[in-house]
Amino acid sequence: MKIRPIESDRQTAPDHDDRMNTLSVLEGLEIDESNAHLRGDDTFNGPVGNRKCTDTPFLIAFAIGNVVLLGLSIYVFIIGDPDRLYRGFDFRADVCGIGKLDDRRFMYWPDPSNMDWSLCIHACPYYYMKNYYCIYDDYNTSVYLKEWGCWDAYESTSYGFYCIPTAKSDRENVIDELGKPMTQMKIASGDLVLSWDSILLGGVLSIVMGFLYLSLFRKAHVIKKIIIFSICLLAGLIGYFIYLWVEAANKIHKLYCESYGPASPDYCETSNYNFYIALAALSGFFGLLYLYQIYLKYRKFNVGINMIVLTCKPLHNIRELFFFPAMQIIVGLGIMMLLALVICWTFSTGTIVYYKNKNVPNGEANKIEFRQGEVAIFAYNALISAWWLSFMVDVGFFVLAGGVSTWYYSRQKDALYMPLWKSFKTCLRYHLGSIAFGSLARPFSVIPCWLIRPFDKMKLKAKDPMPKSTKFITDCCFCIKYYHKYLRFLTKYSYIYLSIFADPYFRSSKRSYYLMRRNYFRIGKPAAIGSFIISIVQYVITLSGLCLTMSLILLPDKTASGQLSIEIVSTAGPALFTFLISWFIGKSFAGALDISLNTVLLSAASDEEMFTREQRFAEKDLIDFMDGIGEEQNEFHREEKMGVRMEGRKLAWYEEDENILNEDQVYKKGDLPSRDHDVSGLRTTMNSPASILYVQTASSTVRNPVFMDEIVEESVEEDPNHQYVIGRQAKYVG
């Protein structure tokens, strides 16, 4: 038998022997030690100093991955040619518009039925002219080799630096050639280079917006007004963002389907147009969904705003907290530029393939094609770049969490000396492995968690007996057990717990998860509301820069540097890169606010479990605010008289005065029996209201004893009819 006794405040916890005698009836019970309460001592005064390196294997894997990235980068820099990105080539594999072909910018297929060879020409023709294009000499392009043959000029339209014939069958052949995935990504990378000035201006706007928000959040009396203004601004930005995608769709439709001078195409390719319309629809759907979430949560914003006001105090006391996002952005954007350069250069590689065919000039031609090797290099570089992006964000989270937790656990909060610098050194010395682990695991867990959670809630809320259809669906979703065992623990609180207690990443993830679940009503729920409010700021910062970049590409005839907008055919490439830049900037600035909020609250939860009231580090206004939330929850429990049904037995009621659930069935926090365990005859004592769990059912019974780790905030927060709600009484503060 493996039993872990309950740990709570030192002044209220019963003797160890009494606890063991009380729990001895739970034969076969296993309690997850990660859900045990924290204990403090007189020597604890903040982030622990006795640390050791954590999750070293992941740091080694990250280092090996970057060594491979370095080798591949050197390789693509040697064989690549960035001039290939946004231009075509001729039958000798010479790039159009470069060097001896500098006046021949457009790629043209003289025989569209044979895509093995092409020429570079001055401009796309829109009249038919017989025997107009002849082969030019390799050294002097003004000299023509007529003995190699001449070809008719056909009506065509321009697509960037490519000429597309108007005849239906020929147009389909050329569009199919340009529509290959790697070719499309190559063109998008070239357009990214052409629109560098628009991307730069978008990034600058995001930085300005970030500093503006960070400055205004230092003034508590204007925070509510800022949030209201940000909601209105976000709604406007979402609408404008949808409009820009529609404009991008119209632009691509014009290039593919509308006339070029007197030349009118016989065939209209709509796949790219439909792609941009789909992006507009998705942007509208998710934008409206987010605005609807704001509408639903708005009545709770006062709690979140008050919590933000109380937890933004580190912005006043830690001076470098205001400038740290700027340093993070400078370093991060530098690394992002290098990674983007590597990826773009990868698209400029390709393999020069030699063709020997009687249908090409002089019977032979060269063509640049992408082989499996280039595709594999791109996929690897993209994966490592995504890891790097997540890694840079998470390093910032850890450093901020370490600095803010040092502030929280200090008795003299105005006398701190560079806590962020100390936290950064701790990160470099001990925990880069954990950050490498978390930055790889968290991004890949978001979508699986989003997909699995509805099935988990369906199983949790099912009546007894479970309907066959529900049982079939939940049984088929075998990933639920992996969600319960691993995925659900990977939250942003992991780095906060790691920065304070120095446990390895996954252990920190589990313990921080259970800690916030144990304090859901008083701390977890207000923290979630506060984080949601701060996410509005992040999206405003991100969309501001993104909309500016897209506007500068789509609306004027030329960009700021004089590049013709019509020659930038792919809006998606510059928009994607600008989104990543603006997202990183928004995450850096809004993350400083969000980490400050959640670090203070997780530290407060730890503080309450480790120390008595007079020993705690929390400031009085924060304690009073959380006590007020706890009193509201206690009043709710008293009014609702929550019913409990365990394993289909008789209904039992929560009794406030006696602190029991039922004379025969009483459980301590964290000590519920395992599934299918017979609970008849069980009787335990309760040492404080903090130990009480409840299960509320209005029309259904609980199929199995309920575990604390099965509590999800959606079931508590979003079930107005209380059909199946699991929760815990607001934490008792003695």
Residue-wise pLDDT tens digits, 22-41: 333 333 334 456 677 777 77
Q: Rounded to an integer, what distance in angstroms lies between the CA atom of residue 730 and that of residue 109?
A: 74
For 64, the token pair is: 């090996």
Q: Rounded to an integer, what distance in angstroms lies between the CA atom of residue 136 and that of residue 184?
A: 28
Q: Rounded to an integer, what distance in angstroms lies between the CA atom of residue 490 and that of residue 513?
A: 8
Contact 355/364 with Cβ under 8 angstroms?
yes
Stretch among 72-86, 174-188, 486-500, 630-644 having the lowest mean pLDDT: 630-644
Structure-model confidence comparison of residues 522 and 150, the more confident one? 150
**Quick check: 159 pLDDT over 70?**
yes
Contact 489/483 with Cβ under 8 angstroms?
no
Q: What average pLDDT does the segment 385-400 reach?
A: 91
Q: Looking at residue 304, what is its pLDDT?
A: 84
Our CA dihedral for 237, 241, 243, 245, rounded to 10 degrees, sits at 180
Q: Rounded to an integer, what distance in angstroms lies between the CA atom of residue 23 and that of residue 5?
A: 8
Question: Is the peptide bond preceding residue 112 cis, with omega within 30 degrees of 0?
Answer: no
Contact 132/151 with Cβ under 8 angstroms?
yes
Radius of gyration in angstroms for the set of CA atoms belonging to the chain, rounded to a whole number: 32
Q: What average pLDDT does the segment 648-659 reach?
A: 34
With a pLDDT cut of 70, the percent of the chain lying above it is 77
Structure-model confidence comparison of residues 680 and 56, the more confident one? 56
Q: Rounded to an integer, what distance in angstroms lies between the CA atom of residue 5 and that of residue 207?
A: 51
Q: Looking at residue 179, what is its pLDDT?
A: 86
Helices (H), ranges, 217-366? 223-257, 271-297, 301-311, 314-317, 320-347
Q: What average pLDDT does the segment 585-603 reach?
A: 89
| Amino acid making up residue 224 | K
Q: What is the pLDDT of residues 327-348, one digit of tens each?
A: 888 898 899 899 988 888 888 8
Alpha-carbon separation of residue 732 from 86, 490, 519, 521 (angstroms): 65, 28, 10, 11
Q: Looking at residue 233, what is its pLDDT?
A: 95
Stretch among 299-308, 510-519, 628-637, 724-733 having the lowest mean pLDDT: 724-733
Q: Looking at residue 145, what is its pLDDT?
A: 82
Q: Looking at residue 478, what is its pLDDT?
A: 60
Question: Is the peptide bond preceding residue 467 cis, with omega within 30 degrees of 0?
Answer: no
DSSP 8-state code for residue 709: G
For 351, the token pair is: 């393999």
**Quick check: 205 pLDDT over 60?**
yes
Count of residues making up the chain: 734
**Quick check: 316 pLDDT over 90?**
no
Residue 21, number of CB atoms within 10 A of its CB: 12
Which are the contacts of 482, defined by CB distance < 8 A and separation ≥ 6?
Answer: none
Structure-model confidence comparison of residues 645 and 175, the more confident one? 175
Q: What average pLDDT does the segment 447-460 reach?
A: 68
**Quick check: 294 pLDDT over 90?**
yes
End-to-end Cα, the chain, rounded Å: 33
Instruction: Return the closest-CA partner of residue 509 out of 435, 399, 449.
Output: 435
Instruction: Please count the CA atoms within 13 angstroms of the CA of 171 that sit on its side-chain side.
Output: 21
Instruction: Indicate whether this model's pTM tops 0.95.
Output: no
For 156, the token pair is: 């065509």
Bridge partners for 315 per DSSP? none
**Quick check: 711 pLDDT over 80?**
no
Alpha-carbon separation of residue 603 from 15, 545, 607 (angstroms): 27, 34, 6
Q: Looking at residue 471, what is its pLDDT?
A: 61
Structure-model confidence comparison of residues 195 and 363, the more confident one? 195
Q: How confident is the model at residue 546 (pLDDT cuts 50, 70, 90)?
A: very high
Instruction: Return the closest-CA partner of residue 559 out of 540, 574, 538.
Output: 574
Give the 3-state secondary structure of residue 412.
coil
**Quick check: 177 pLDDT over 60?**
yes
Q: Rounded to an integer, what distance in angstroms lies between the CA atom of residue 327 and that of residue 410?
A: 25
With a pLDDT cut of 90, the percent of the chain lying above it is 25
| Average pLDDT of the chain, as a whole number | 77
Q: How confident is the model at residue 733 (pLDDT cuts 50, 70, 90)?
A: very low
Residue whose entry in the numeric block shows the structure tokens 């109380």: 310
Q: Looking at residue 697, what is its pLDDT?
A: 34
